[in-house]
Amino acid sequence: MGSPAIAILGTGSYAPEKILTNDDLSKLVDTSDEWIFTRTGIRERHIAAPNETTSQMAAAAARLAMSDAGVTAADIDLIIVATVTPDLPMPATACFVQHQLGVPTHAACFDLNAACSGFIYALDTAWAMLGSGRYRHALVIGAEKFSSVLDWKDRTTCVLFGDGAGAVVLGPTRGTGQILGTKLYTEGAHTHLLCIPDGGSNTPDPAATGARTPRTVSMKGREIFKIAVREMEEAARDILAQHQITPAQIGCVIPHQANLRIIDAIARYLELPAERFFVNLERYGNTSAASIPLALDEARSSGRIKPGETTLFVAFGAGLTYGSALVRW
Ligand code: UT7
């Protein structure tokens, strides 16, 4: 008997109530709505309340995904939270989510750090675990309180990111949402291009050096931009070739929502009309691991995904990690 076909059974998303517009940001740093919008396509982003945690946002998205899938907490035996902004360094955010949702103790719960590619990495991992037949229903969640790792005086990074969560329930297929394939990649030579250079075992001992580097995101944006376009095109082309699907046969592409100019470049390279790409970054900014599941949930609820169509997910992020996935509805 072959391994069971695994599908996305339901989706959900959550964004914090507070909205920070580009004009609001121009009061904090030397920037403007015009610069941010023309360079990135972002108009506003959601920012979590000071006492709101990544796990709370993850659980809110997960509840909606479970309701959409018609499953309860008792049905879940695996939770993977993709995040680089965990509630605490230890234990895993997924453990907080399990408790908040009332998922049984026989569930395996852990976090996965692949930055903005985290959702595709977590989808691949959960798909393999469910495919083994040893787990039945998984919550795969991308959730970030990215505002907690931003330097709000650094205009080159603080204007780009936002907070939020997106979740899917995976389980045995009921005829739609089947995962056809995933591809994961890493270019570890580029770790320095996007990182939080403090807070880990490689942090200089402050007592010895007298100095601390900030526990905030450091990014070489221009370099990443070029690599991101190349990596995302490669990830898209490889998975399509592997499944003998042409770009034109893709109903909807859900790319990582980092920068509209990156998405437009990939559309051009794949020779697809820009309308084929689902884009919501103007309202959320880059929500890192949450970006694809949040966009997927909006794409489904707005009718952008039609029965019988194939959807391509494609992402890149710190690591540099990148990857793609194909789902048939
Ligand atoms: O999930 C992965 C996350 N990372 C990314 O997605 C990063 C990918 N890279 C990008 O999206 C783009 O490189 C950025 C949006 C970050 C920057 O756009 P760019 O067109 O590459 O601009 P740049 O870095 O070349 O900067 C152009 C100018 C500079 O001034 P000078 O040197 O020309 O005088 C910057 O200092 O724009 C200046 N600048 C700003 N001006 C107003 C940088 N940030 C801002 C800002 N407001 N927020």
Average pLDDT across each block of 10 residues of the chain; the chain has 329 residues. List them in order: 82 98 98 98 98 98 98 98 97 98 98 98 98 97 98 97 98 96 98 92 70 81 97 97 95 98 97 96 98 98 96 98 98
- 266: tokens are 């990939």
Q: Is the CB of 64 under 6 A from ligand 1?
A: no
Cβ neighbours of residue 207 closer than 8 Å, sequence gap 6 or more: none
Q: Is the CB of 42 under 6 A from ligand 1?
A: no
Model confidence, pTM: 0.96
CA–CA separation, 266 vs 236, rounded Å? 9
Superfamily of domain 180-328: Thiolase/Chalcone synthase (3.40.47.10)
Q: Where in the chain is the domain with CATH 3.40.47.10?
A: 6-175, 180-328
- Strand-strand pairing, 310-317 and 164-172: unpaired
pLDDT score recorded for residue 33: 98
Q: Is the CB of 159 under 6 A from ligand 1?
A: yes
pLDDT score recorded for residue 121: 98
Q: Which is nearest to 289 in space by CA: 103, 100, 95, 123?
A: 123
pLDDT score recorded for residue 4: 74
For 68-83, what is each residue's pLDDT tens digit? Answer: 999 999 999 999 999 9
Got the DSSP string for 133-176? TS---EEEEEEE-GGGG--TT-HHHHTTB--EEEEEEEEE-SSS
- 66: tokens are 């479970």
Q: What is the Å distance from ligand 1's center to 29 Cα?
A: 14
Active site residues: 116, 256, 286
Three-class secondary structure of residue 84 per DSSP? coil
CA–CA separation, 206 vs 1, rounded Å? 57
Q: Where are the beta strands (DSSP E) in the chain?
A: 6-14, 18-21, 44-47, 78-82, 108-112, 138-144, 164-172, 178-186, 194-195, 218-219, 252-255, 310-317, 321-328
Residue of the nearest CA to atom 23 in ligand 1? 222
Superfamily of domain 6-175: Thiolase/Chalcone synthase (3.40.47.10)
Residue of the nearest CA to atom 25 in ligand 1? 222
- Residue 120 in contact with residue 313, Cβ under 8 Å? yes
Cβ neighbours of residue 23 closer than 8 Å, sequence gap 6 or more: 33
Looking at residue 91, what DSSP letter applies?
A: S
Residue of the nearest CA to atom 43 in ligand 1? 156
pLDDT score recorded for residue 213: 60
Q: Is the CB of 286 under 6 A from ligand 1?
A: yes
